[in-house]
Structure 1
Amino acid sequence: MARPAKPFFRKQTQSWYCSLSGKQFSLGKDKQLAFQKFHELMANREEHLQNRFSLYELSQAYLDWCQANRKPATYKLHRHFLKSFIEAVGRRLQASQLKIHQVTKWHEGLGVSSTTQNDAVAIMQRMLNWAVEQSYISRNPITGMKKPKRKRRDVYYTAEQWAQIREHANGSLVDLLDFLYCTGCRPQEARLIESRHIHNDLVIFPSDESKGQNEPRVIYLAPKAKTIIDNQLLKFPEGPLFRNERGVPWTKNAIVLRLRRISEKIGFRVIAYGARHSWATEALMNGGVDPISVALLMGHKDTTMVSRVYSHLAKNPVFLRQQAHRATPTRNHEQISSSAEPPSATDK
């Protein structure tokens, strides 16, 4: 028969302890206070048992799950930020002891943009929510924490600006930028395209390779985009189609560095997502494509993202005036015009 839990004294530390489910709890050096703390501990036994894990232990368990159930890039990103956080707070801090100000101090000290800080806090919250779901802890200690604001990436380029960008780009980077500008696809999607994804005038990523992993991602190739793909297939029949001058597949960092140098030369910010946003802007403003089609072609489920990211259209009075004229039915316009005529002398 197992002995009932009770405090015990350890001579080496001159302190009182107790054990619950194999984990020892320090009760302090004073016997009376130690027994008082022990009874409080037993009264809240379940809560203490759930909150017995350190943040380091939770992070390791979560990363094991993440590695088995998420894409390698997702696992790598989560591991990066969780490792940074554990280094900041230490391996022994328990989840139940975590305070919001500790997370705030950590993400503000990362030396990154507010958007990246937002990602970092989101990963922390996801890990703790997962721990609650798996019954490692009873509650998320940073529930309700406000994340840093994300900076909107609604950068888009006029035809003149795009000509400047292409003029200062060179080599294989031009092919990549032109493809983004012709299709509106995500830069990451372009980097990952291989010959196995090409189906005539379509690029199809199976659901397990698409964003969200819910359904296949289809990129429709207009003639110019199809020509670019055909040329890349001739050069690289196996593996990623878009590569640099050394035949190495483009990485996110390599693209960022090349575009940063172009930005310094032409005097305005150049980012890969700008090509995607420019495609959408041109489709909406000059191509006459409806927002639903634009959203679907870009790989969005609905128009929410298009409406939010391309809100700069609301600041374009010329475009809105054109839309206002298009939105007014001719018959109604004639009726309004006739009813607005001044009354004759007999009517008075």
Structure 2
Amino acid sequence: MARTASPWFWEERNGWYVTKDGQRHFLGGHPPDSPPPRKSKGKWNAPDSIRQRFHTLMAAPPPEKAPQSLHSSGGLTLAVLFEKCLDWCQKHRSARTYEGYVGHIQAFCDHLKTAAQMPALDLKPFHIIEWLDAHTTWGPTYRRNAITAIQRAFNWAEELGHITTNPIRKMKKPAAKRREHFITPADWEVIRNHYPEGDPFRELLEFAWESGCRPQEARHIETRHVHLDRGVIAIPPEESKGRKKWRVIRLEGRAAEIAAKRLPRATDKLFVNADGKPWTPYAMNCRFCRLQKTLGVKHFAYAFRHGFANRLLVSGADHLTVAELLGHADGTMLARVYQHLDSSDAHLRKALRRAGGSGDSEVPKS
């Protein structure tokens, strides 16, 4: 007896799908205000909005198949093109790259309700512009990354012969803008006090604040990476950024305490949410959006790493030491990204006085 089609949740992509006529169809991302996805007695608790799309899709007649010679993409729909690209990316690219593409592509499909039926070659730049304009809080860098994800899928499809031309190849992208925001000690005190002690998100942020690790590193730390006896988290080259050398995150103080606390009860990932699921970029961004509603300030995960570097530089640590702790190959990135110190004048004057042998005497004010 054939199995009845019903919506199912794909955890890795944080989205709802259904299989119809042997083809997987994307129904949409999980609404952040809905209960967490759960499977009970063989069925998923799909939200109402997902079930509406499911019923609409199942009631729709099958699309007419155009002759291959008359349809240059062979009947490839937009959703299928994205699925093929993401499947390939998951196998051949880093987890960080894959997650970045998944987030943007699923958000675009959520906006473009006809993605499951639209022929891939019918996509036009204005479809993407309308999607971007619907999100007024997205900055130029985020918009650039979103366009890049969609264009990359079409470039890939053209390279492999799934389509004969790329309809969005010439679409222009805004210039990236460097994020100069960093978490100060005062910011951190407010953020930390917003969450109760033991909250999974608070512990994730606290670890980032104390260790200076990259957000993707914190999310992907596994139990096998943790070496409490040596006081380090060691990520092998093939799993680290750049894939050239070991990434060593040194554990001291509160960071060591958090790692020691979480390790005994962790089965795979060291940091998971209240449901025991690994953190995703989408889930973390949702938490920061909620935090913004309370505090009135939009923070982001990388700002904790920037704050870590800022604290070390202001304390007098040399740039090569800070670069090593951050996992940089040399001090070039440090000089380029963290040259905007909030207290740079006092910091530089203090170094200048030390070099001149004048100690820490005050500089006369004009």
Change (3 A) 1:212 1:126: farther
**Aligned CA distance change for structure 1 residues 211 and 83 (closer, same or farther; 3 Å):** farther
1-structure distance, mates of 2:239, 2:206: 23
| Deviation of the 1:63 alpha carbon | 3.2
Q: Deviations 1:206-251 (Å, cap 9, x if unpaired)?
A: 34443455554321223442233223234x2533333556766555
Which among 161, 179, 188 is matched to residue 187 of structure 2?
A: 161
Question: What is the CA-CA distance between 1:123 and the residue it aligns to?
Answer: 1.0
Match of 2:59 in 1: none
With normalisation by structure 2, the TM-score equals: 0.61
1:230 equivalent to 2:253? Answer no
Q: Which residue is 1:16 aligned to?
A: none
Give 3-state SS (helix, strand or coil) of 2:196's partner.
coil
Which amino acid is 2:219 matched to?
R
SS at match of 2:341: helix
Shift of the 102–259 alpha-carbon distance from structure 1 to 2, 3 Å rule, reads: closer
**Following superposition of structure 1 onto structure 2, how do residues 115-126 of structure 1 map, counting pairs within 5 Å?**
115-126=141-152
Q: Which amino acid aligns with 2:350?
A: Q
Pick from 75, 82, 105: which aligns with 2:130? 105
Shift of 1:117: 2.8
| Cα offset, 1:138, TM superposition | 5.6
- Which sits farther off after the overlay, 144-153 or 188-197? 144-153
CA distance in 2, matches of 1:265, 1:75: 29
2:173 alignment counterpart = 147
Q: Give unpaired runs (5+ residues) of structure 1.
A: 1-18, 27-48, 331-348
Q: Is the 8 A contact 2:103 2:282 kept in 1?
A: no
| Residue 185 of structure 1: aligned partner | 213
Greater fraction helix? 1
- After TM superposition, list the pairs within 5 Å mapping 1:126-275 onto structure 2: 126-137=152-163, 140-150=166-176, 152-173=178-199, 174-199=202-227, 200-211=230-241, 213=243, 215-234=245-264, 236-243=265-272, 252=281, 255-256=284-285, 268-275=297-304
- Counterpart CA distance in 2 for 1:243 and 1:103 is 33
**Preserved CA contact (<8 Å) 2:105 2:150:** no
TM-score (norm 1): 0.63
The Cα of 1:60 is off from its aligned counterpart by: 4.4
With over 3 angstroms needed to count, the CA separation of the structure-2 counterparts of 1:181 and 1:78, relative to structure 1, is: closer
163-172 vs 133-142, which moves further: 133-142
Q: Over aligned residues, Cα RMSD in angstroms?
A: 3.9
**Which amino acid is 2:234 matched to?**
I
Tell me how far apart the structure 1 counterparts of residues 288 and 81 of structure 2 sit (CA, whole Å).
39
Q: Which amino acid aligns with 1:210?
A: S
After superposition, give the CA deviation of every residue in 1:38-64 in whole Å (9 maximum; x if it has no partner).
Answer: xxxxxxxxxxx6x77756364344234
The correspondence for 1:297, drawn from 322, 325, 345, is 325
SS in 2 for 1:24: helix
CA offsets 1:81-116 (integer angstroms, 9 cap, x no match): 563576457845464x65434432343235661344
1:267-295 per-position Cα deviation (integer Å, ceiling 9, x unaligned): 544444332211010112214231x4433
Q: Which has the larger radius of gyration?
A: 1
| Amino acid in the other structure paired with 2:88 | W
Q: Tell me how far 1:127 sits from its aligned partner.
A: 1.5
Percent identity of paired positions between Structure 1 and Structure 2: 35
3-state secondary structure, aligned to 1:313? coil
Is the Cα contact below 8 Å between 1:55 and 1:86 reproduced in 2?
Answer: no
